[in-house]
Structure 1
Amino acid sequence: MKLVSYLHEGAARWGCVVDDGIIDLGRRLPSFSSVAALLEGGEAALSQARAVAEGAAADHALADVRLDTPVARPRRVFCIGVNYAHRNAEYKDGSELPKYPSIFMRVAESFVAHGEPLLQPLESRQLDYEGEIAIVIGRRARRVKDGDALACIAGLTCMNEGTIRDWVHHAKFNVTQGKNWNASGAIGPWIVTADEFPQGYGDLRVQTRVNGETRQDDTTANLMFDFAYLIGYLSTFTTLEPGDIIATGTPIGAGIRFNPPKFLQPGDVVEIEVGGVGVLRNTVHAEGVAS
């Protein structure tokens, strides 16, 4: 099932995607006000949503709605840095593979939905892309053991964990200010629920294309810290809640790594494709310039 948040005739709604249409599950399941509320209901709520959607006709065409991020204004977004083994080598600093994941946080305002513009800010011309697979948490989790961790996944979505590169380097020990510019990243277009991945998560492909040119291409087989480890590690020091998002890292090939760098420019089209999920597509706009 593909869960989606969207706007139709100015009203916030949620539902699931079938072919080129959307079934309005919020109308059919009024006890759940949003995708986040459905996730809080656990597997019983998801099963109810599947049953209601079975055989139902679409209420809207995808072309007639404006998509929101799949979890509208997510409570917390955890981002994992340098998690593909090839990326550690990309730094060319001779460092050993890390013992623990690098983690930073992003705010909801730093992300837009599928189809919405990414903003090149007034203060920088170093907007960069980072294609990632994002985990959406589906149950409350604290000190989760590896064997139970994957059961905490509600589903997966695509993420462009966009970065303002020069602002990442303003300070010695943090990246927060380069990672939280308004509309610098994107999430979407929907959440594909965990039952759609019977093969597991060990070899999922993520690609980034800019104007049709493939810049990043790797699979989760090369993750240094897999999905189960990340959930277990994060849940050791904090309580994960339904609707929380974990960005699992980006492969080699970000714009900063080219010589000269290939930063995003107004008019560029960025596509993040995740196997089994779909394609997240956004166009870059210059902040303050009418589209």
Structure 2
Amino acid sequence: MTAKFLTFSYENVTRYGLLHDRGITDLSRLYGDRWPGLREVIEAGALNELATSAPRLVDFREEDIRYEIPVTNPEKIICVGVNFPDRNEEYKDGQAAPSNPSLFIRFPRSFVGHKEALIRPPESLQLDYEGEIVLVIGKAGRRISQENALDHVAALTLCNEGTIRDWVRHAKFNVTQGKNFDRTGSIGPWLIPFTSEDQIRDIALSTRVNGEVRQQDRTSRMIFSFKKIISYISTFTTLVPGDVIVTGTPTGAGARFDPPVWLTPGDVIEVAADGLGVLRNSVVDEDLT
């Protein structure tokens, strides 16, 4: 059975654990003195060790905990834009796919965990979804070759890279504002240890809104491979354990409908991928009281 590592909170205390068929083992109770969180587990190269040797205790039931984003304190969250062929064509600018990936940064506070509500802010009604696959870095590196790139991956997870669409056009040439409203995206549900290239070569990725499939594609069709993304990013910045790389979304976001279809309170978004599970979130308006 594939190991599922999660970060969660119980009675306002953040913990990390291992989800199995009987419940959740509280790994922070067993190993917290050595590794305070999953980032430290990853940095120690201990994820696979815990996957095989940690006891399957029942310290918590899944229904009693609150999911947090799996790595709560990454040094960097780097996102890739326009990484599927049909997505490039959505721009209708007549340009071929670029030779290098478009990148932007997100902050941890802009994400929530599995089953938590995404927040539609009062500044805009244009909350949109983007289902994506996430790489979590396990070994530090700079100027990493494509040949060695996957040696630096520790785990995989999913992301709904929620976006406030009109705010990505508030300035001349950046998208930072629209990508970083608090609690507008999600990461999770858990970390799946990375084992081999076969695990990610041809993953089916989809996004459903209220049960309707809106996005659907496969990683074998990405413009920039996982290897290329890691190698390119590490050219200009050192990747370190716990860094999160969000690798791009297929066509079909709400902004591309005519007229656009934005997320509204009560909607349920599900991002699903082979072997990684389903990341599920609802939508609520921000409580300003």
TM-score, normalising length: structure 1: 0.95
Match of 1:100 in 2: 100
Task: Kindly state the Cα deviation for residue 14 of structure 1 after the two structures are TM-superposed.
Answer: 0.6
> Runs of 5+ in structure 1 lacking a partner?
none
Task: Kindly state the Cα deviation for residue 93 of structure 1 after the two structures are TM-superposed.
Answer: 1.5
Match of 1:109 in 2: 109
* Pair 1:85-2:88 in alignment: no
Deviations 1:179-232 (A, max 9, x none): 00001100011010102x562312011111100000000010110111011001
Deviations 1:246-277 (A, max 9, x none): 01000000000001101000110111111111
Match of 2:169 in 1: 169
Whole-angstrom distance in 2 between the partners of 1:260 and 1:20? 46
**2:167–2:177: 8 Å Cα contact kept in structure 1?**
yes
Match of 1:52 in 2: 53
Match of 2:263 in 1: 264
**1:111–1:187: 8 Å Cα contact kept in structure 2?**
yes
Match of 1:75 in 2: 75
SS at match of 1:39: helix
Whole-angstrom distance in 1 between the partners of 2:8 and 2:14? 6
Task: Kindly state the Cα deviation for residue 60 of structure 1 after the two structures are TM-superposed.
Answer: 1.2
**2:18–2:27: 8 Å Cα contact kept in structure 1?**
yes
Task: Kindly state the Cα deviation for residue 20 of structure 1 after the two structures are TM-superposed.
Answer: 5.1
TM-score, normalising length: structure 2: 0.95
Deviates more, 1:104-113 or 1:24-33: 24-33
Alignment of 1:112-261 (within 5 A): 112-195=112-195, 199-261=198-260
**2:150–2:197: 8 Å Cα contact kept in structure 1?**
no
Task: Kindly state the Cα deviation for residue 49 of structure 1 after the two structures are TM-superposed.
Answer: 1.3
Match of 1:33 in 2: 36
SS at match of 1:225: coil
Whole-angstrom distance in 1 between the partners of 2:160 and 2:90? 20
SS at match of 1:147: coil
Whole-angstrom distance in 1 between the partners of 2:222 and 2:163? 21
Match of 1:288 in 2: 287
Task: Kindly state the Cα deviation for residue 177 of structure 1 after the two structures are TM-superposed.
Answer: 0.7
SS at match of 1:28: helix
**2:48–2:193: 8 Å Cα contact kept in structure 1?**
no
SS at match of 2:198: coil
Provide the alpha-carbon RMSD of the alignment: 1.4
Match of 2:10 in 1: 8
Q: Name the amino acid aligned to 2:253.
A: A
Equivalent pairs: percent with the same residue?
49
> Runs of 5+ in structure 2 lacking a partner?
none
Whole-angstrom distance in 2 between the partners of 1:34 and 1:144? 26
Whole-angstrom distance in 1 between the partners of 2:51 and 2:165? 42
* Pair 1:19-2:21 in alignment: yes
Whole-angstrom distance in 2 between the partners of 1:73 and 1:239? 17
User: How many pairs align?
Assistant: 286
Task: Kindly state the Cα deviation for residue 85 of structure 1 after the two structures are TM-superposed.
Answer: 1.2
SS at match of 1:199: helix
Task: Kindly state the Cα deviation for residue 75 of structure 1 after the two structures are TM-superposed.
Answer: 2.2
Whole-angstrom distance in 1 between the partners of 2:97 and 2:112? 33
Q: Name the amino acid aligned to 2:234.
A: S
Task: Kindly state the Cα deviation for residue 103 of structure 1 after the two structures are TM-superposed.
Answer: 0.4
SS at match of 1:87: helix
**1:205–1:220: 8 Å Cα contact kept in structure 2?**
yes
